[in-house]
Amino acid sequence: MKRMRAGILAAGLALVAGCSGLQPVKNDAPSTYALEAQFQPRPAAANAPVLLVTRPRAHPGFDSPRMAYVRKPHELEYFSRNRWVDAPEKMLAPLLVQSFEASGAFGAVSQAAGGVAAQLRLDSEIVRLQQEFTVTPSRVRFTLRAQLVDVAGRRILATREFDVTENAASDDPYGGVVAANRAVQRTLCEAAAYFAAQAAGFKP
């Protein structure tokens, strides 16, 4: 009898061990998200100036892949299981180039200075990119400060701060990501239109 019980117990343990091998492996890696945008291109204007877009900077607290949120004023927190795939300013750089190219106001738009004789330069910095749970529904706030510079004349032609909010469809990190992408696209469209108007008629 004892041998039978021992055999049954061993068989049971083997069955449990075998079934445990069929269980899905727990994935401890955080979810990662990208900033993306699409723009409708316009033909480049004849004899339009060449624009150099420098890499954006970011204020402290928004200069890493951590996704920021606030539940009360002045206190930044970060999601532990959700991150940007890269620092926001790095993801923003090519989107800035695409948005200004699509405006059609510049003969060429480049992100690198090498080999490009640019007449104008765009400098920018991310002031904030955060999901705000201080309101219902939560919302994402994206603030970008940018300035257009005459390279040869070393003078600032225009400066503006763009502050855009978008409501999140759900009060969770993914809802914030979707809202962040909408906010970024709106901001870049506004920035491209504004600085295109400032560059109109520019004479080096």
Residue stretches of the chain with pLDDT short of 70? 1-27, 113-115, 204
Tell whether 33 is covered by a domain: no
State residue 89's pLDDT score.
Answer: 98
Instruction: Give the pLDDT confidence score for residue 40 in this predicted structure.
Output: 92
Q: Residue 74 falls within a domain, yes or no?
A: yes
Q: What is the pLDDT of residue 29?
A: 85
Q: Are 174 and 67 in contact (CB under 8 A)?
A: no
Residue type, 18: G
Type of residue numbered 104? G
Question: In whole angstroms, what is the distance from residue 97 CA to residue 115 CA?
Answer: 17
CATH number of the domain where residue 115 is located: 3.40.50.10610
Count of domains in the chain? 1
Tokens coding 204? 């080096």
Is 119 inside any structural domain?
Answer: yes
Residues 204, 118 contacting (CB under 8 angstroms): no
Task: Read off the pTM.
Answer: 0.84
**What is the pLDDT, as a whole number, of residue 17?**
47
Bond into 204 cis (ω within 30): no
> What does the buried/exposed string (b/e) look like for 29-51 if buried means 16 or more CB atoms within 10 Å of the residue's CB?
eeeebebebebeeeebeeebbbb
Counts of helices then strands in the chain (DSSP H, E): 3, 9
What integer pLDDT is reported at residue 46 of this predicted model? 80
Phi, psi for residue 136 in degrees, rounded to 5 = -125, 125
Model confidence pLDDT, tens digit, residues 78-105: 999 999 999 999 999 999 999 999 999 9
Helix (H) or strand (E) run with residue 150 in it: strand 139-150
Domain range for residue 160? Answer: 50-199
